[in-house]
């Protein structure tokens, strides 16, 4: 196996798959519409001697870069222990507009606090939970101001009622999805935002959502500070994996991509990704952990596949999560996901497996998770491949029987 074969494989994978391509084309269409509206407003204002400026605001993360804790606050939240710093060069200094507002270009925002953030995710979470603030939303108006006088060719059908504007923008559908995710009611009977009405476990749902947004922030800020680690085999800290990567295997990569590993929970996740451009978070962790720690393949290969296929791909988040699950990222404990145990815990009725792995649809849940337990002739009749690794390595033992240890 010649040197650099892994990088050669990565270079041949498409950087943009069909699902994300369609998503980006739709987003580009909306962006161009926004730019056209901004240009029309500025032109109309200029025609009547008025000043008009359309500002862009940082919206990439839960916390704005300038709202992150200071180095001292991060240390205090971590219990005054020395923080493990991330590798890489220093971040850019603060650059803001004349009015103090920051733009969306990473080179035009205050990254001075990003430079002092810890390189370990748990320390980052403790710091932002204790000391960072989320920029509050602007209060919703009861009624929109009437549009200014504009030349007829710029006149649009602008709703005057705020609720009609929110409805046209799909805001209520988005709130309904958020309510379902967090179990918190955000709207009253009149459609206006109301105080949250907690349902059972509502706080847990909201906390879980916030925690995952904090994870996402950590990866994005880490990439802004020292993005060169995204392409290194040693990941964020230049670490060596606990076990060296095996030589790149086209066969292993092909079976993993096709959802033919013989591990049903992993295969269901990979088939969902190939068919839809989406994979649930639990599936992503298990698929990545199995590829890097079960097959011992270079994590960058798996990350490149996700980049090509995921509709919601983000370079920093994807690479950060892959390095994390491969044991070369911001995870000092180096978790390994035991995919069979993960499946039985989070898909106990095997509904997810049977939906995406039709070869196993007729089996009882326990056998759908472990089809190799069937007699040999029945296994052969399924047309489902044998496991690529010993199934026992994918079953948790000891106190952490949930599947990760």
Q: Which residues are annotated as a binding site for FAD?
A: 312-314
The tokens for 67 are 């709202």
Smallest CA-to-CA distance from 230 within 125, 122, 90, 326 is with 326
264 contacts 357 by C-beta, under 8 angstroms:
yes
Cβ atoms within 10 Å, residue 72:
11
DSSP E strands in 177-320: the ranges are: 184-187, 193-198
Using the structure block, give the residue that is written with the tokens 């580009």.
28
Distance of alpha carbon 239 from alpha carbon 245, whole angstroms: 13
Furthest-apart CA atoms within the chain: distance in Å: 84
Per-residue burial over 130-157, b if 16 or more Cβ lie within 10 Å, else e, is ebbeeeeeeeeeeeeeeeeebeeeeeee
Query: How many CA atoms, within 13 angstroms, populate the side-chain half-sphere of residue 255?
Result: 18
Distance of alpha carbon 33 from alpha carbon 39, whole angstroms: 10
Helix (H, G, I), strand (E, B) or coil at 255: helix
The tokens for 206 are 């909201």
CA distances from 309 to 37, 260, 275 (A): 33, 17, 9
Distance of alpha carbon 235 from alpha carbon 214, whole angstroms: 20
Distance of alpha carbon 399 from alpha carbon 388, whole angstroms: 26
Which residue ranges make up the annotated binding site?
Answer: 312-314
């Amino acid at each position: 196996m010649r040197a650099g074969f892994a990088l050669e494989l990565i270079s041949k994978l498409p950087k943009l798959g069909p699902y994300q391509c369609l998503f980006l084309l739709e987003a580009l269409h909306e962006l161009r519409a926004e730019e056209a509206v901004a240009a029309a407003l500025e032109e109309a204002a200029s025609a009547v001697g008025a000043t008009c400026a359309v500002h862009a605001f940082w919206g990439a993360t839960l916390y704005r870069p300038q709202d992150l804790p200071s180095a001292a606050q991060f240390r205090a939240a971590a219990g005054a222990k020395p923080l493990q710093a991330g590798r890489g060069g220093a971040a850019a200094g603060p650059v803001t507009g004349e009015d103090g507002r920051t733009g969306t270009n990473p080179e035009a925002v205050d990254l001075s606090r990003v430079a002092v953030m810890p390189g370990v995710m748990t320390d980052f979470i403790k710091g932002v939970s204790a000391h960072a603030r989320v920029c509050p939303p602007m209060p919703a108006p009861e009624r929109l101001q009437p549009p200014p006088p504009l030349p007829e060719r710029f006149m649009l059908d602008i709703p005057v009622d705020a609720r009609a504007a929110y409805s046209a923008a799909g805001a209520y559908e988005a709130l309904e999805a958020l309510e379902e995710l967090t179990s918190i009611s955000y709207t009253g009977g009149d459609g206006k935002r109301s105080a949250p009405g907690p349902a059972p476990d509502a706080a847990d749902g909201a906390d879980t959502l916030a925690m995952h947004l904090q994870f996402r922030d950590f990866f994005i800020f880490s990439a802004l500070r020292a993005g060169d680690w995204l392409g290194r085999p040693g990941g964020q800290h230049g670490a060596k994996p606990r076990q060296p990567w095996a030589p790149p295997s086209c066969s292993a990569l092909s079976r993993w991509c096709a959802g033919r590993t013989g591990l049903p929970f992993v295969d269901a996740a990979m088939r969902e990704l190939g068919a839809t451009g989406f994979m649930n978070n639990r599936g992503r962790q298990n698929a990545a952990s199995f590829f890097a720690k079960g097959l011992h393949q270079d994590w960058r290969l798996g990350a490149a596949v996700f980049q090509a296929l995921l509709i919601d791909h983000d370079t920093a988040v994807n690479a950060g999560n892959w390095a994390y699950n491969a044991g070369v990222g911001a995870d000092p404990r180096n978790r390994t996901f035991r995919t069979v145990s993960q499946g039985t815990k989070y898909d106990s009725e095997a509904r997810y497996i049977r939906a995406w792995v039709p070869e196993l649809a007729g089996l009882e849940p326990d056998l759908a998770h472990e089809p190799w337990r069937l007699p040999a002739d029945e296994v052969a009749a399924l047309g489902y491949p044998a496991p690529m690794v010993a199934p026992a390595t994918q079953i948790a033992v000891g106190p952490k029987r949930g599947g990760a240890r």
